[in-house]
Amino acid sequence: MLRLRIGFVLIAMVLSFFGARLVQLQGVDPRSYAAMAASEGAVRVPLLAERGDILDRNGIPLADSIKGKVVFADPSLTADKAPEIARLLSDRLSVDYFKTLTALRGRHDGSRYEYIARRVPSTLATDTVAELEELGYTGVGTDDDPIRDYPAGDVAANLIGYMGTDEPLGGFERTFDKQLAGTDGEATWQSSSSKSVRIPLRESTTKEPKDGAPLRTTIDRDLQWFTQKVLAQTVAQYKAASGSAVVLDTRTGETLALADVPTFDANHPADAKEEDLGSRAMSETYEPGSVEKVLTVSSLIDAGKAFPRQKFKVPPNLARQDRVIGDWWDHGPIRLTLAGIIAQSSNIGTVLAADAFTPPQLVDYLRKFGLGQRTDVGVRGETAGILTPGDQMTSQTKDRVAFGQSVSVNVLQMAAAVNAIANGGVRVAPSLISGRAVTDDGVVVGTDVATRTRVVSKEAARATAKMMEKVVDPEDGVAPRAQVPGYLVAGKTGTAQRVNPVTGLYDGSTSLSFGGFAPADDARFTVYVVIHAPQVDGGGGSVAGPVFSRIMGYVLGRYGVEPTNGKPSRLPVEW
């Protein structure tokens, strides 16, 4: 009996122990023990999100994703043969041997999933893994990993930017990365300890990836291509340092093309020079030269201080303080109207007309035109340019600013200013993004938030446009080569000295430009062209004017804009 009782007690103690353990496992802390059990043989596999496309205004991809593979390894299966596997992978995939060796041996404690290479062409990745398996090596596999592709190569690459292996490195790719990138998911499943294969009927979890959202731009891909082509031909013809061109929808401010030369192929950014991997039109400043005169003159007219037929006696030279102001051509005393000052691009005449303004008055107008401030269209590294505050500007500086020197701009900024005249005196903020988008820095941009600001009256803008028509007049103007057959064109030439960024002094080279709009009496498009440091003696009319003509003719035809059959300006240029 005693032995029997002792036996029952022992059995009761054992049952109590197992009962307590069961309560602990199922009732007290079941999740922690389940997690510990699951961690044995658990494989966590990232599920990669597909990056959103960057589209032109018509929905055509400027950047998209094509099929690719990520090559990964399970260190528990590759560690023993790591040197041999690493040698083959480095040869086939052009990856670093030593980094691959580390991954094959396991970079992280207990990890069953290590990256070897990302965004590998599908065929190359599949063939490489198959070759390893034929040689008897296991533990290397592939999974989907879309490759970023730029179907049009260098078209709009200055704006779109490009991708590195795991991160965006420029342009819209970087500015709108949060929108484009999406969110990766993850799958966790149980595998055998001997093979990296999923065990059926075991617990698994999946967090699906969220693909990135597309970004639609205002760019017209075909127009962008044509603009870049014409610009590149001109830069090469005149052996210029660089060039930029902008095409705006006059009424909406949408940027249909914004070209830079030199540029780069976004599929092969490593082949380009570092200074070409962005948009010079947005990041570099220059003095606009005589194109700025139309801003000065329209402001004077708006303020009631000038009018197109106003008469000026223009001397050969104009002494101001310790400087002498001259014109681009030698002449004796001449009599020009205000329209003639614009048609002939007289610095002296512009200064005489601008004497009606104090420095603060001129600066206030130029700021309304957008000078001295960024356009904030979503391009990283955009410069605001330089415009001296009115209360700090001397009369001597005001003289130079009035005809486009001692003030600096970026290309889109200046194009938007000219567009204000084309748009009846209303500056509509330029846009590069269609709809509404938020940059990674939190700036809201796009056509939905574009602002409209009255700069000068409709009458002042119209009077200025009529004077600008005389610029392309073959008898009275300096830029007949900027005409577009069949259309009334309003425009203005610009020739400005270039400042060396290191010395801060003029270096003897020039920036030649032409900005204008058509049809002049019912503007639909504004085109602005700048050619920097051409190796030729010429002006904005002879170098940039023909580029303007070709681009404007193309965009008018592409969008089916009919000639207005309006009558050309009959303003007198002399008296």
CA–CA gap between residue 313 and residue 316 (Å, rounded): 10
CA–CA gap between residue 226 and residue 554 (Å, rounded): 8
* 342 touches 295 (CB < 8 A): no
Instruction: Outline where 474-563 has alpha helix (H).
Output: 540-558
How remote is the C-alpha of 83 from its chain's centroid? 44
CA–CA gap between residue 516 and residue 43 (Å, rounded): 63
CB atoms within 10 A of CB 30: 11
CA–CA gap between residue 401 and residue 170 (Å, rounded): 34
As given in the structure block, the two tokens for residue 497 are 């000295």
Residue located via tokens 């080279």: 509
How remote is the C-alpha of 410 from its chain's centroid? 13
| Helices 293-302 and 347-354, packing angle to 10 deg | 30
How remote is the C-alpha of 52 from its chain's centroid? 16
The residue annotated as part of the active site, out of 65, 90, 279, 290, is 290
CA–CA gap between residue 213 and residue 54 (Å, rounded): 9
Residue 298 a catalytic site member: no
* 366 touches 300 (CB < 8 A): no
For every residue of 101-131, DSSP letters joined together read HHHHH-SSTT-S-EEEEEEEEHHHHHHHHHH
Question: In angstroms, what CA-CA distances link 452 with 368, 416, 550?
Answer: 11, 11, 29
How remote is the C-alpha of 483 from its chain's centroid? 30
Question: In angstroms, what CA-CA distances link 131 with 76, 101, 138, 318?
Answer: 20, 18, 11, 81
CA within 13 Å, CB half, 424 = 7
Catalytic amino acids? 290
